């Protein structure tokens, strides 16, 4: 009975301790809507249109153009970029292949965990949908790694498989970025001194030329606390409970199963 009470009390404590961490895994809130979503896209990294997470940006362009947007992402977030290209209903000579690429503040192409990053639209298709879910943004990283880091991210949308007769046909594009807050499971001890390509991520007046390079990415250990401490404590308690439960199951009644004759 004592062991059962101890297990019950420990389970209640675990539930109370894990509730903040579970709350961190909920999708991030959408912006308040104070700024209007852009209705045009840039044609290069330097002219990329700025969007906030939760906004749906639109743009009118010609087939063959490179369309660029930029958005901010913070540590612990897992951004998902979705794009829809509305194709002309007629005049297309064949299929079209569209591709969605995401780059970080150092203009390194980021891999997609999942999502249809490249899709081919049939000749009669009215639209094509693309998506890219990035890896979780880390607070800091080793200089040799290509992990996603806090700061500005660039979205590039373009047609990569296109017939010459289809160049210049009008298209309409829609782009939206949403993030899921991963929380303590992705926490690290340390952070960057400033985000990659500051300005859009922190709304500062610094120019993009002041962005840190790979050689300057060093951890900031001034803040020692992170959610990882909570998950480590939970793991320790679970290990202790497993030990108690195993002992309770294997110790038996304390008596030999058979009593020798004549005893």
How confident is the model over 189-239, as pLDDT tens digits?
556 666 776 444 444 334 444 444 444 444 444 445 556 667 778 888 898
DSSP 8-state symbol, 46: T
pTM: 0.66
> 140 near 146, Cβ under 8 Å?
no
* Distance of alpha carbon 217 from alpha carbon 210, whole angstroms: 13
The verdict on residue 261 lying in a domain is no
* Distance of alpha carbon 152 from alpha carbon 223, whole angstroms: 23
> 121 near 95, Cβ under 8 Å?
yes
The verdict on residue 170 lying in a domain is yes
> 165 near 159, Cβ under 8 Å?
no
User: Where does the chain show beta strands of DSSP type E?
Assistant: 49-50, 56-62, 67-73, 77-86, 96-103, 112-114, 118-121, 127-134, 151-161, 170-181
What pLDDT is stored for residue 120 in this prediction?
93
The verdict on residue 244 lying in a domain is no
The verdict on residue 195 lying in a domain is no
Report the candidate in 73, 53, 48 with the shortest Cα–Cα distance to residue 139: 73
In three-state secondary structure terms, 34 is coil
The verdict on residue 65 lying in a domain is yes
What pLDDT is stored for residue 22 in this prediction?
40
The verdict on residue 111 lying in a domain is yes
The verdict on residue 231 lying in a domain is no
The verdict on residue 219 lying in a domain is no
> 118 near 97, Cβ under 8 Å?
yes
* Distance of alpha carbon 10 from alpha carbon 3, whole angstroms: 11
What pLDDT is stored for residue 36 in this prediction?
85
How confident is the model over 63-81, as pLDDT tens digits?
999 999 999 998 889 999 9
What pLDDT is stored for residue 78 in this prediction?
93
Count of domains in the chain?
1
Q: Which residues of the chain have pLDDT under 70?
A: 1-35, 183-194, 197-229, 252-263
Boundaries of domain holding 151: 27-183
Q: What is the CATH number of the domain that holds 57?
A: 2.60.120.380
What pLDDT is stored for residue 33 in this prediction?
46
Please state, as a whole number, how many other Cβ atoms lie within 10 Å of the Cβ of residue 155.
25
What pLDDT is stored for residue 192 in this prediction?
65
């Amino acid at each position: 009975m004592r062991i059962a009470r101890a297990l019950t009390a420990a389970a209640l404590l675990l539930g109370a301790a894990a509730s903040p961490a579970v709350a961190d895994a909920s999708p991030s809130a959408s912006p308040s809507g104070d700024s209007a979503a852009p209705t045009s896209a840039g044609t290069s990294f330097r002219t990329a249109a700025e969007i906030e997470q939760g906004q749906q940006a639109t743009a009118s362009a010609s087939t063959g153009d490179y369309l660029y947007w930029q958005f901010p992402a913070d540590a612990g977030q897992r951004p998902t970029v979705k794009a829809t290209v509305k194709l002309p209903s007629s005049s297309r000579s064949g299929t079209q292949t569209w591709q969605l690429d995401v780059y970080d503040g150092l203009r390194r192409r980021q891999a997609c965990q999942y999502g249809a990053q490249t899709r081919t639209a049939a000749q009669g298709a009215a639209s094509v949908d693309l998506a890219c879910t990035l890896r979780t943004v880390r607070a800091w990283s080793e200089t040799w790694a290509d992990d996603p880091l806090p700061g500005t991210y660039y979205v590039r949308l373009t047609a990569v498989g296109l017939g010459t007769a289809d160049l210049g046909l009008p298209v309409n594009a829609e782009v939206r970025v949403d993030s899921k807050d991963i929380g303590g499971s992705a926490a690290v001890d340390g952070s960057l001194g400033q985000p990659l390509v500051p300005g859009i991520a922190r709304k500062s007046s610094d120019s993009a030329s002041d962005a840190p390079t790979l050689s300057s990415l060093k951890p900031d250990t001034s803040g020692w606390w992170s959610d990882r401490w909570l998950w480590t404590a939970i793991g320790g308690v679970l290990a202790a409970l497993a030990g108690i439960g195993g002992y309770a199951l294997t110790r038996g009644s304390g008596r030999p199963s058979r009593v020798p004759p004549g005893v």
